[in-house]
């Protein structure tokens, strides 16, 4: 994969909007870059995009880029995002808007999220924790893991093919960095490490999004399939008085985000995602039970 410029238009490098560049200018350069790259290596894949994803000017940049032939020139569309302290669900609308723009200009292509992170540290090296704005620390590592899993599920359901964390490195003693995400100094893991390991185990590249489950107004559920295996990620909306849903333990397995099996015949749903694994028909029965429970309240 080769990439065409980094974060054009909205930054002060690459093709700054402040100097009069537009999404159409970026498309012109991307088409030239893609043509040269494919002449050099016919098997290469080209990645390009405005970078950040938000309402307003950046979506307009994407639309100009797509309309001027940029979408046709690339194999995947690049986005970045740093949600900071916001719960992940706001991004679902942005992905829907981006996908709609692609459909208007030739058809959807895979999306790569090549910069992204939620940050936290339960054992900070200093108080307050220094940060650079984009990596503001959440209240604790459990919230970080919870948000990161919800974010990943929403991305995979919205057409994102690959997720790259920023930055995944760690510094030395007494100069640690929130951007390490998974590890502190000397390889000590943060809680998100275990949550990410389970997520990667359950959602390999062969796993594909099927549909959003209808689970009432208070619960989000997303169904995926990997060959003959089906699974769903489910969680209650922030602040919701979520129902307690019966689970058929003969047909379904339930894991928490750290990979621990839950054996209770009833499932209390909250904002921390759970994985429901098993036959698709049984998962649909579970979804209907959640709707019925929600309707009775």
SS (H, E, C) 242-257: CCEEECCCCCEEEEEC
Predicted pLDDT at 138:
97
Query: Contact at 8 Å (CB) between 254 and 275?
Result: yes
Neighbouring residues of 144: CB distance < 8 A, sequence distance ≥ 6: 118, 119, 120, 138, 190, 191, 192
Query: Contact at 8 Å (CB) between 182 and 190?
Result: yes
Phi, psi of 163 (to 5 degrees): -125, 125
Compute the distance between CA of residue 254 and CA of residue 154 in angstroms, rounded to an integer.
19
Predicted pLDDT at 39:
97
Query: Contact at 8 Å (CB) between 134 and 115?
Result: no
DSSP strands (E only) in the chain: 2-3, 46-52, 76-81, 111-116, 160-163, 208-213, 219-226, 229-236, 244-246, 252-256, 261-262, 266-268, 274-278
Neighbouring residues of 121: CB distance < 8 A, sequence distance ≥ 6: 129, 137, 141, 176, 178, 184, 190
Domains of the chain from N-terminus onward = 2-202 (3.20.20.80), 208-296 (2.60.40)
Predicted pLDDT at 197:
98
Predicted pLDDT at 71:
98
- In tens digits, the chain (297 residues) has pLDDT values of 877 899 999 999 989 999 999 999 999 999 999 999 999 999 999 999 998 999 999 999 999 999 999 999 999 999 999 999 999 999 999 999 999 999 999 999 999 999 999 999 999 888 898 899 999 999 999 999 999 999 999 999 999 999 999 988 777 777 788 988 999 888 889 999 999 999 999 999 999 999 999 998 899 999 999 999 999 999 999 887 877 889 988 899 999 999 999 998 998 899 999 999 999 999 999 999 988 766 666
Query: Contact at 8 Å (CB) between 154 and 86?
Result: no
Query: Contact at 8 Å (CB) between 137 and 178?
Result: yes
- Residue whose pair of structure tokens reads 């009432």 in the numeric block: 216
Kindly report the pTM of this predicted structure.
0.96
Predicted pLDDT at 291:
84
Q: Which two tokens stand for residue 204?
A: 């390999």
């Amino acid at each position: 994969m080769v990439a065409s410029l980094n974060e054009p238009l909205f930054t002060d490098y690459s093709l700054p909007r402040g100097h009069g560049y537009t999404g159409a200018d970026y498309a012109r350069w991307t088409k030239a870059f893609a043509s040269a790259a494919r002449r050099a290596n016919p098997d290469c894949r080209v990645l390009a995009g405005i970078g950040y994803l938000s309402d307003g000017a950046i979506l307009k940049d994407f639309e100009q880029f797509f309309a001027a032939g940029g979408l046709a020139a690339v194999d995947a569309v690049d986005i970045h995002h740093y949600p900071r302290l916001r719960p992940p669900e706001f991004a679902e609308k942005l992905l829907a808007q981006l996908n709609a723009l692609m459909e208007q200009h030739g058809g959807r292509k895979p999306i790569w999220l090549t910069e992204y992170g939620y940050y936290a540290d339960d054992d900070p090296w200093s108080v307050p924790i220094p940060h650079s704005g984009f990596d503001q620390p959440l209240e604790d590592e459990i919230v970080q893991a919870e948000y990161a899993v919800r974010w990943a599920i929403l991305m995979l359901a919205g057409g994102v093919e690959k997720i790259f964390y920023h930055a995944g490195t760690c510094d030395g003693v007494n100069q640690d960095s929130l951007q390490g995400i998974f590890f502190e100094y000397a390889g000590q893991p943060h809680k998100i490490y275990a949550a990410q390991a389970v997520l990667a185990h359950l959602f390999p590249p062969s796993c594909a999004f099927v549909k959003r489950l209808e689970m009432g107004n208070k619960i989000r559920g997303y169904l995926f399939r990997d060959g003959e295996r089906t699974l769903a990620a489910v969680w209650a909306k922030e602040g919701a008085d979520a129902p307690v849903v019966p689970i058929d333990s003969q047909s379904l397995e339930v894991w928490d985000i750290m990979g621990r099996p839950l054996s209770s015949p009833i499932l209390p749903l909250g904002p921390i995602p759970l994985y429901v694994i098993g036959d698709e028909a049984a998962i649909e029965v579970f979804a209907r039970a959640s709707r019925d429970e929600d309707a009775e309240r």
